[in-house]
Amino acid sequence: MARTRFGIDRGLTARMFATMFGLGLLYVILGGVLLALGVGAIFVLAIMGALIFGQWWFSDSLALGAMRAHEVSPEQAPQLHALVDRLCAMADMDKPRIAIADTDVPNAFATGRTPKRSVVVVTTGLLRRLDRDELEGVVAHELSHVAHRDVLVMTIASFTAILAGFLVRSAMWGSMMRDRRDQNTALLFFAVMLVSILVYAISYILIRALSRYRELGADRGAAYVTGRPSALARALQKISGDMAAIPTQDLRKMEPVSSFAFAPAFSRGRGGLGLESLMSTHPSLEKRLAQLAKISTELGER
């Protein structure tokens, strides 16, 4: 990863590494079980490689299409481009493409297979609601995702869960193709089913944890680059409050990119260890605000 001024949170990095290691270990175990059952390794690897490559390669086009967002030039959105130019200069990073989605949902997201192919998308609802400092904080948050290649990280991690679901079907097919007169076939079939379901469930939870770490890291990076964590905190509070007034039909338009959005379209509740918190792609508002308040005190912001 190219060095930028977004900095590195070593504790956060360690947690992300541990999460990804856990995902990889689950994949290795599942792969070993399936190979032992006679599922063709070349077939499994070919399908896996094709799917993950396609998801990664076309990530920007897929996200833009899902949100019906359009790229804008400096002439079309001079103030937004000037804000991004300033942040990229402060962070010492290449400028991504800029796009706007015409929706009243106040949100933003970044996607793209590499920093040079990345695009930062903001909605018209976000532009209408935030002042310059608040918008700067949100865009800096998205640029932090770009700088740390979070799209690539989440694509690889998410594919582990997808792979588990795909491989269970391969395992089922392989089991059925074995000697049907074998009395252990049914027992073997259900054992593979159970292992695959457990692997999928655990990997799903780990992916959600990784996503929450990713969001906290982006908040932290944005706070340090702008030097105004309070502005980002105000933006979070405004967006979270305004989401309640947005029609559910409009909120569902954000679902295809919800895991990459600045704020979740649908709140998953407060912090803690409940099921909703484990399944959420974003940390609770309270946890994000607490981190920003701590950074604000550290920077001596007034």
- Residues assigned a catalytic role: 142
Distance from C-alpha of 107 to C-alpha of 263, rounded to nearest angstrom: 6
Task: Return the DSSP state at 76.
Answer: T
Residues whose CB falls within 8 Å of the CB of residue 99, separated by 6 or more in sequence, listed in order: 64, 69, 70, 71, 72, 119, 120, 121, 122
Helices (H), ranges, the chain: 10-36, 41-57, 59-67, 78-91, 124-129, 132-147, 150-177, 185-226, 229-243, 248-251, 275-279, 285-299
- φ/ψ region of 272 (left if φ > 0, alpha if ψ in -120 to 50, else beta) reads left
Residue carrying structure tokens 């295809």: 256
Task: Count Cβ atoms below 10 Å from residue 1 Cβ, excluding itself.
Answer: 9
